[in-house]
Amino acid sequence: MSTHLPPTPDPDKPLVSRRTVIGAGISVAAVAGIGGVVFGNRNSTIPIKATDAKIASTELRRRSSGQTVRQTLTAARSQIDLGGQVVDTSSYSGAVHGPLIRASAGDELKIRLTNNLPSTTTTHWHGLALRNDMDGVPGLTMKAVPDGQTFEYSFIAPDPGTYWYHPHVGTQLDTGLYGPLIIDDPDEPGNYDVEAVLMLDDWTDGWGKKPDTILNDMKESGMGGMGEMGGMMPSASQPLGADTGDVAYPGHLINGKLPTDPITVSARPGQRIKLRLINAGADTAYRFAVDGHRLTVTHTDGFAVEPVTVDALVMGMGERYDVELTANDGAFLMVASPEGKDDPPATALLRTAAGDAATDPRAVAALSGRLLTYRDLQPLEASRLPMRRVDRTLDLSLDMANGGRQWRMNGKTYTDHEPLNISEGERVRIRMRNTTMMFHPMHLHGHTFALAGNGTRKDTVNVLPMSTLSIDFQANNPGQWLMHCHNLYHGELGMMTVVSYVT
């Protein structure tokens, strides 16, 4: 999200703290020339930056299909009809969501971003373990794209799966600036008849409070996470705990539409349907279910798992799931209910015949049926990290301070962070300890990690209140990589750090 540099840096005045030195240079072969960013540390080790030959050599080793996929994105202010509610917002190419970008693993993507916003912007390719200087984090991997300027992202898509793209500047994620990115597996058998991408989103821009106003209010008065432990901790009915977010949104969307004008997925009875679910919300986890159907989960964050059948699943911000179902005869609500909030749910329709669907989304029985947990997930063998010992363990505490005006990692906000130093070739474990009463969907850029214990591959994971969760990853993509809470407002209030490759 910018998740989101607090405050958003001027592109001509890079973010500098007492532990940060900014440098610039011209890239070596196969790496586009941009400003590099160097993070110092107490041991005087040398960080690997975007102009380093190690990054160029990593790119040369990537498997390439030899094919190129081109796309243009124009970020601009626009007027959008969400289904009877017209809003003035920011969007890509005049629509919510932005264009579907689709390629196959190994393809080179060349995506031309034109910034017609009245401010700087970038685009981040959420979940892709791509080259460092294309990751879209201003002040860390690239300079923000100034208003009126154009930047071409160019990178190889390494892994198949369901991904998405969004800005990494200020509160821009909490507008219409997001879209789906699907990387196909050329070897996937495709045992389904119908495919649909469903992007879930919480909406306030141009309708309720502006995102910048929400953030400023939080800076002044603080936010949640202060509740008493009794009744607040996760339970069977409240798997993320009772305090799941701090923003009441006037509307929730599926593919840019309110329940007043829902999108429809059409199929024939008995057909197999694949749903690619993406939580693009800024402050909202969603409980997703399809009335009259069970869901077979096949992938999480792009990586295949042993199929497991459930009635519903909860998605933290930034998470993705692929699910399959066999279509029944009739019309059925697909429901994304804001977890732990009283906001009205988002809905879409699955239709295989004429007739009316249920009218009350909260009464859909599947929402209270068997719920997916991380314990249910087991990776397919091809998705596992190769077994090896852990070379380096890093502890990361998730903290809150000043009545919720600051959210921190290891006691520091991003402005004053100390990087998590690693070396290329290591197996790294990050042990995250949540000391707050809110869950945090933690996202690591440039890598997928394995959940310690069951090996499930992900790039975004919910760390529950007052709990500890460990992740393992292979340090095989050198550079400087953001790690942050994908609650937009937690990130903007400081809950971000850098995983820093050093030599």
Residue 488: CB partners within 8 Å, gap ≥ 6? 1, 2, 3, 4, 171, 173, 174, 211, 282, 283, 317
At 21 the pLDDT is 27
Residues of the chain with pLDDT under 70: 1-44, 223-231
Report d(CA 302, CA 448) in Å as an integer.
Answer: 9
For the entire predicted model, the pTM comes to: 0.91
At 224 the pLDDT is 57
Q: In what order do the strands lie in the sheet with 460-463?
A: 420-422, 496-501, 480-485, 440-444, 460-463
- Whether 81 and 91 have beta carbons less than 8 Å apart is answered as no
At 453 the pLDDT is 87
pLDDT one-digit tens code per residue, 349-395: 999 999 999 889 999 999 999 999 999 999 999 999 999 999 999 99
Phi, psi of 57 (to 5 degrees): -70, -35
Name the β-bridge partners of 108: 68, 156
- Whether 461 and 471 have beta carbons less than 8 Å apart is answered as yes
Phi, psi of 61 (to 5 degrees): -85, -10
Question: Closest Cα partner for 345 from 355, 328, 359, 327?
Answer: 359
- Whether 476 and 44 have beta carbons less than 8 Å apart is answered as no
Query: Strand, helix or coil at 437?
Result: coil
pLDDT one-digit tens code per residue, 262-274: 999 999 999 999 9
Report d(CA 140, CA 150) in Å as an integer.
Answer: 19
Residue 346: CB partners within 8 Å, gap ≥ 6? 200, 201, 252, 253, 254, 258, 259, 286, 335, 336, 337
Domains of the chain with CATH codes: 20-184 (2.60.40.420)
336, two tokens: 């994304």
Element (H, E) at 185: none
Annotate 103-130 with b (16+ C-beta within 10 A) or e (fewer): bbbbbbbebebbbebeebbbbbbbbbbb
At 187 the pLDDT is 85
Phi-psi region of 97 (alpha: psi -120 to 50; beta: other; left: phi over 0): beta
